[in-house]
């Protein structure tokens, strides 16, 4: 703990170069990065302007990134793969590791469905190319099924929520904090999670232009985000409270999510490349992407030093 406090103190005292006194446009999902950084107190002395932009899911965030509206953001490996295959100018600069229990297929509390096997022929809502979509595909393969064995209904999170609540679909394959929101507020049940099925890795991504022109800001942001995530592992309650206030959602929801997620930032290394290649191969086998990408070519290892400084290495 003392080691981390000292590291955080050094982090907060970091002064980036004079060329980094500009701005960084950061895409966020459900207050994810902003909440943890505010709760950890690492945003108090940022020597450049952070422009936060909120998105309901990774797909619109990546669209904004591709259009040059933001410089960096947090996304799952599945939508990242989808975007890279569509030639969106994007590279992963940091890995987001967490337990896989928050990526799940949900059913309402009154549903007769008890396991994935009961979903044969049923309707499952999820976002096209999302990590929810990835989970469905991986689960189907694990059972030796094909996509013809279920009915995948592609919907944005807000529309999926409506369809799920109204009973227009039988299940919803989604991610946090939607999973915890349904569990805590509506007693939905997880019938399968990504644990043991799919990597469930996330990425901090950036445009090649930002990597070239805003490297000092990106490195500093990653240091602060990494330190904030390290802080959150032993301060779950404070983080959950800040997130709940920021998003206007009862603290019990983020507390459920964050207590089991154990989110941390890790460098792009061989394991991150291998996990991303697994996702690429899954999407290629299922015809969702037409070219078999090389994971190493879309993951940038050059920010490992900044991440290491964030955890005091």
Least confident of 5-9, 58-62, 73-77, 161-165: 5-9
Is the predicted pLDDT of residue 10 greater than 90, yes or no? Answer: no
Does residue 313 register a pLDDT over 60? no
Please give the angle made by the CA atoms of 36, 158 and 109, to the nearest 5 degrees.
Answer: 90
pLDDT band at 12 (very low <50, low <70, confident <90, very high): very low
Strand order in the sheet with 49-55: 49-55, 23-29, 72-76, 202-206, 91-97, 264-266
pLDDT one-digit tens code per residue, 77-97 = 999 999 999 999 999 999 999
% of the chain surpassing 90 pLDDT: 89
From residue 131, give the alpha-carbon distance in Å to each of 18, 245, 313: 39, 26, 31
9 pLDDT band, cuts 50/70/90, is very low
Encode pLDDT of 208-230 as tens digits. Answer: 999 999 999 999 999 999 999 99
In this predicted structure, the answer to whether residue 287 has a pLDDT above a threshold of 90 is yes
Q: Into which CATH architecture does domain 104-193 fall?
A: 3-Layer(aba) Sandwich (3.40)
Average pLDDT, the chain: 92
Residues 190/104, Cβ–Cβ less than 8 Å: yes
Tokens read off for 210: 């930002």
Specify whether domain 2-97+200-310 bears CATH 3.40.50.2300: no
* pLDDT reading at 16 higher than 50: no
* Mean local confidence (pLDDT), 163-184: 97
Q: Cα(48)–Cα(234) distance, rounded to whole angstroms?
A: 28
The answer to whether domain 2-97+200-310 and domain 104-193 are alike in fold is yes
The structural domains of the chain, with segments of one domain joined by +, span 2-97+200-310, 104-193
């Amino acid at each position: 703990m003392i080691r981390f406090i000292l590291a955080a103190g050094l982090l907060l005292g970091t002064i980036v170069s004079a060329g980094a006194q500009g701005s960084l446009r950061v895409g966020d999902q459900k207050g994810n990065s902003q909440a943890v950084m505010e709760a950890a107190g690492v945003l108090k002395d940022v020597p450049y302007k952070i422009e936060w932009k909120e998105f309901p899911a990774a797909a619109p965030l990546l669209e904004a990134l591709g259009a040059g509206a933001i410089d960096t953001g947090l996304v799952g490996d599945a939508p990242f793969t989808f975007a890279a295959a569509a030639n969106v100018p994007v590279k992963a600069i940091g890995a987001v590791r967490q337990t896989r229990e928050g990526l799940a297929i949900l059913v309402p509390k009154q549903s007769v469905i008890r396991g994935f096997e009961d979903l044969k022929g049923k309707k499952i809502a999820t976002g096209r190319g999302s990590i929810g979509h990835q989970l469905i595909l991986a689960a189907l393969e694990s059972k030796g099924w094909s996509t013809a064995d279920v009915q995948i209904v592609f919907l944005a999170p807000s529309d999926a929520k409506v369809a799920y609540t109204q009973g227009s679909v039988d299940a919803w394959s989604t991610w946090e904090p939607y999973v915890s929101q349904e569990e805590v507020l509506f007693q939905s049940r997880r019938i399968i999670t990504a644990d043991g099925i799919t990597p469930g890795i996330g990425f901090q991504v950036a445009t090649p232009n930002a990597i070239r022109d805003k490297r000092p800001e990106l490195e500093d942001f990653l240091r602060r985000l990494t330190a904030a995530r390290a802080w959150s592992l032993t301060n779950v309650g404070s983080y959950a409270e800040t997130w709940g206030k920021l998003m206007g959602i009862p603290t019990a929801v983020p507390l459920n999510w964050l207590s089991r997620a154990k989110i941390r930032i890790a460098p792009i290394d061989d394991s991150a490349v291998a996990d991303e290649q697994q996702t690429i191969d899954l999407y290629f086998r299922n015809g969702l992407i037409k070219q078999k990408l090389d994971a190493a070519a879309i993951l940038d290892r050059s920010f490992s030093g900044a991440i290491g400084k964030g955890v005091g290495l």
